[in-house]
Structure 1
Amino acid sequence: MKYKRILLKLSGEALMGPNGYGIDSEKLKQYTQEIKKVKELGVELAIVIGGGNIFRGVQGEKVGIDRVQGDYMGMLATLINAMALQSSLEQNEMYTRLMSGIKIESVCEPFIRRRAIRHLEKGRIVIFGAGIGNPYFTTDSTASLRAIEIEADVVLKGTRVDGVYTADPEKDKNAERYTNISFQEVYEKNLNVMDMTAFTLCQENNLPIIVFDMNKAGNLEDLVKGEEVGTLITSN
């Protein structure tokens, strides 16, 4: 395998499927099967999942909810998704641990770096919920930070688009996909990959990012095997 330890970042919106809200059982099942294929290859796998299908802190501000309060509500939304994913993975005979950025001992473990690494070494899938436990940080930032802390080889950002483009491919038919691009080029071209905090963390710690289409069957497995899928972002 090209990567021994990976951090997979999934968006909460991806779990909505065609419903436009909540958790779609078919989409959850699909992601579970894709993750199982990778796990069977012997890869150490950590996952961060967003909560946008349930609640986003920035949305709360529009209806008068305090931003900090809204962000904590968003953290709880990520935990709901993480618990759903954990249940689905375990029903498919995978061992998991759910670790939270905020203390909810009745539901999951608090995040402790050494414990997280030990879980991975023992072959368990580690799911990080509730962000980093502080407001004003996105789940992209959580993914970057946790990947650095557990010494992951790469951040795999699973989206509904098959990479980074010169423009929004859903709006511009002439947009072209990058196969490889540097962190500096992403800055200079003002391309939308992650929020700036998350992106800078990866750049400063020389942690590669691959943006790929998670909805295409086999993509995740092909990536781990070293095949060219999506867009690779590196320092060079």
Structure 2
Amino acid sequence: MNEVLSRGVNANKLVNDTYNWPRQISKIIKGYNDTWQKTIKMSPLKAEKDWIDGVENQIPQRLGASANARNQDGMTVLSKGDQVRIRLNHDKKGGVSWTRGPFVIEESFIEKLSNGNLIPSYQLQDIDSQMTMRGRYGSDQVLKYIPSETKLKMAPLYIVSYLIKPLWRTIDGEKHKYWVVRWLGYKDATYEAHNQLMEDVPKVVQRFELLRNVKWNTVNHTVTFLPAQRKPHLVEEQNA
């Protein structure tokens, strides 16, 4: 290649009577690429174009062959209404990651190639926003989503509205510290153990004891506290 360019530079010097070849190098290269070459029986530009056209013509065939191979391996063509996850970029370890939340197939398309191969693609919808995703997704870009049949059972959430008063209660013949508790969203108050409330809502208990000067007598099992100066206010919501 260097020899060819050297001949081109020398020829340019003879024609233009100048040796300023850097300004003429692009024209020299273009002239070479447009010239018929004996070794390849065509110009380099023609060879490049034929090669690109040949590869483009092979792409549908390769895709079709790949799709047929997957179908023979048992690949299921997805249908409208199926839920899928979308493939994300490959992670650093070379694996494939997928979206956590599923999308729904809004439309399913099957393209039949000239050789009879079928290529599926899908138009997706975001379940949360109900918006149609842009473009179509191929079979290698989606993964069928199968929701778990095991549903988590959430425990009911109880929030302390305010403490009414402290008291002693006899449980199995023994005295224990208790509180009368009003719950947010519930009409009836309940008795709750002091130790349990100190684990769940310690700040609520400590605030009451401080403001109302609560005194627990562990000998006589009595409790004293100051009366409320005003209607009990809603304390900060805490789990009990």
**TM-score, structure 1 as length reference:** 0.19
Which structure: larger Rg? 2
Larger RCO, structure (CA 8 Å, separation 6 or more)? 1
**Is the strand fraction higher in 1 or 2?**
2
**TM-score, structure 2 as length reference:** 0.19
**Is the helix fraction higher in 1 or 2?**
1
